[in-house]
């Protein structure tokens, strides 16, 4: 008697597991960035979204710390009068003799005068405090008022691999200065439906700055933040971003977790506060993805 073996093609076929991102694209394995033998020239990246509370400062601090872990020399420029990035790195904004305000407003103040080291090896900060809010008004009467930050950051290009500028939540003159100084813009986007509305206006502003002031300006990527994998809502928002902006949407998404506010209270990047937490892994992946795209040193 012969035995027949039926084989159901839908079952038990060993299929190679292809990891995918949240919109179903194959997720590349981003290699660890190659060590650098020397530093510079720096790429300047502005962290921009006119909406507040979307993760700009959190991304600036944690991407900066992750890039520093990979051996990059990183300068973080706090360009928000709220000074949250400075506080998040342990700087007391009330104690500052000099801040980014003096750097942009006073021609006698040089970058070296305002840079502070942080507890993270390879990560320095130009701090900000409420003084910066006056600059917005005072700059209006200046010659080349849109490019004072670009001029002030020029010496950083030789010493650092990446300069990350944490923008304030507006599209005013300070943000235009950051966009004029930058090689690229990273757009953190909260995974919430109304968040999409502002992106078109932001991109319009970026295009105006590119046309008039900074022809080489690129959009490095849109980074979904506060992603909640348990909700369909988060996934739908990211799918809409992919539909509208294609490959500008990064593969990396940052999950929503209380570890981020906890790390801010501790005034540490999550990579130091909770180094093995998924949030730290997400920012390390972001660093690797940006390096692989050529959007960071």
Ligand X SMILES: Nc1ncnc2c1ncn2[C@@H]1O[C@H](COP(=O)(O)OP(=O)(O)O)[C@@H](O)[C@H]1O
Q: Which residues bind Mg ion (CB under 5 A)?
A: 56-57, 84
Distances in Å between the Cα of 163 and the Cα atoms of 69, 76, 151, 271, 274 are: 15, 6, 14, 19, 24
Q: How far is the CB of 257 from ligand X (least distance, A)?
A: 5
Helix (H) or strand (E) holding 222: strand 218-225
Question: Which residue number, 160 or 260, has a Cβ lying nearer to ligand X?
Answer: 260
Q: How far is the CB of 52 from ligand X (least distance, A)?
A: 4
Q: Which does 55 bind (CB under 5 to 8 A by kind): ligand X, Mg ion, none?
A: ligand X
Q: Of 41 and 261, which CB lies nearer to ligand X in the complex structure? A: 261
- Nearest residue to the partner Mg ion, using Cβ: 57
256 is in the binding site of which of Mg ion, ligand X, none (Cβ under 5 to 8 A by kind)?
Answer: ligand X
Locate 32 and state its tokens: 């660890």
Out of Mg ion, ligand X, none, what residue 226 binds, judged by CB under 5 to 8 A for its kind, is: ligand X
Which CB, 111 or 166, lies closer to ligand X?
166
Minimum gap (Å) between residue 171 Cβ and Mg ion: 14
Query: Considering CB distances under 5 to 8 angstroms, the limit depending on partner class, which of ligand X, Mg ion, none binds residue 260?
Result: ligand X
Class of residue 81 by CB neighbours under 10 A (exposed 0-12, middle 13-18, buried 19+):
buried
Binding site for ligand X (CB under 6 A): 52-58, 84, 169, 225-226, 254, 256-257, 260-261, 264
Report the residue number, 184 or 224, with the smaller CB distance to ligand X: 224
Binding at 254: pick from ligand X, Mg ion, none (beta carbon under 5-8 Å per type)? ligand X
83 vs 184, beta carbon nearer Mg ion: 83
**167 to 119, 185, 228, 263: CA distances (angstroms):** 22, 10, 25, 20
State how far the alpha carbon of 285 is from the alpha carbons of 66, 166, 257, in Å.
9, 20, 17
- Complex with ligand X: residue 47 or 152, whichever CB lies closer: 47
Please identify, using beta-carbon distances, which residue of 134 and 265 lies nearer to ligand X: 265
What's the residue count for the chain?
297
Q: What tokens does 71 get?
A: 């051996």
Rounded to whole angstroms, how far apart are CA atoms 213 and 8? Answer: 63
Torsion of CA 129, 130, 134, 136, to 10 degrees: 70
Q: Say if CB 263 and CB 274 are below 8 A apart.
A: yes
Which entry of ligand X, Mg ion, none binds 282, CB below 5 to 8 A by partner kind? none
Q: Is the CB of 139 or the CB of 226 nearer to ligand X?
A: 226
Shortest reach from residue 166's CB to ligand X, in Å: 7
Cβ proximity of 79 and 168 under 8 Å: yes
CB of 80 to ligand X, least distance (A): 7
- Cis ω for the linkage preceding 121 (within 30 of 0): no
Residue 58's binding partner, choosing from Mg ion, ligand X, none, with beta-carbon cut-off 5 to 8 A by kind? ligand X
Using CB distances below 5 to 8 A depending on partner kind, what does residue 257 bind out of ligand X, Mg ion, none? ligand X
Shortest Cβ 211–ligand X spacing (Å): 26
Residue 96 CB, nearest approach to ligand X (Å): 19
CA dihedral 284→259→53→219, nearest 10 degrees, is: 10
- Cβ atoms of 178 and 214 within 8 Å: the answer is no
């Amino acid at each position: 008697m012969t035995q027949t073996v039926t084989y159901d093609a839908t079952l038990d076929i060993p299929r190679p597991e292809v990891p995918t991102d949240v919109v179903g694209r194959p997720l590349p394995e981003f290699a660890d960035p190659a060590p650098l033998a020397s530093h510079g020239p720096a790429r300047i990246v502005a962290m921009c979204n006119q909406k507040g509370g979307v993760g700009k400062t959190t991304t600036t601090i944690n991407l900066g710390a992750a890039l520093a872990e990979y051996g990059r020399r990183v300068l973080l420029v706090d360009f928000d009068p709220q000074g949250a990035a400075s506080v998040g790195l342990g700087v007391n904004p009330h104690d500052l003799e000099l801040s980014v305000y003096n750097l942009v407003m006073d021609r006698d103040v040089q970058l070296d005068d305002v840079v502070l080291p942080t507890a993270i090896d390879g990560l320095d900060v130009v701090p900000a405090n409420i003084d910066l809010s006056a600059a917005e008004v005072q700059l209006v009467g200046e010659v080349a008022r849109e490019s004072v930050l670009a001029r002030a950051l020029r010496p950083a290009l030789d010493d650092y691999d990446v300069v990350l500028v944490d923008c304030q939540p507006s599209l005013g003159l300070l943000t235009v200065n950051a966009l004029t100084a930058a090689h690229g813009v990273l757009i953190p986007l909260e995974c919430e439906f109304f968040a999409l509305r502002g992106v078109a206006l932001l991109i319009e502003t970026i295009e105006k700055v590119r046309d008039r002031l900074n022809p080489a300006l690129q959009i490095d990527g849109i980074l979904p933040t506060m992603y909640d994998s348990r909700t369909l809502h988060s996934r739908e928002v990211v799918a809409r971003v992919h539909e509208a902006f294609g490959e500008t949407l990064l593969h990396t998404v940052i999950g929503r977790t209380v570890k981020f506010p906890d790390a801010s209270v501790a005034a540490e990047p999550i990579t130091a506060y909770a180094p093995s937490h998924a949030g730290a892994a997400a920012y390390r992946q972001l660093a690797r993805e940006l390096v692989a795209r050529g959007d960071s040193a």
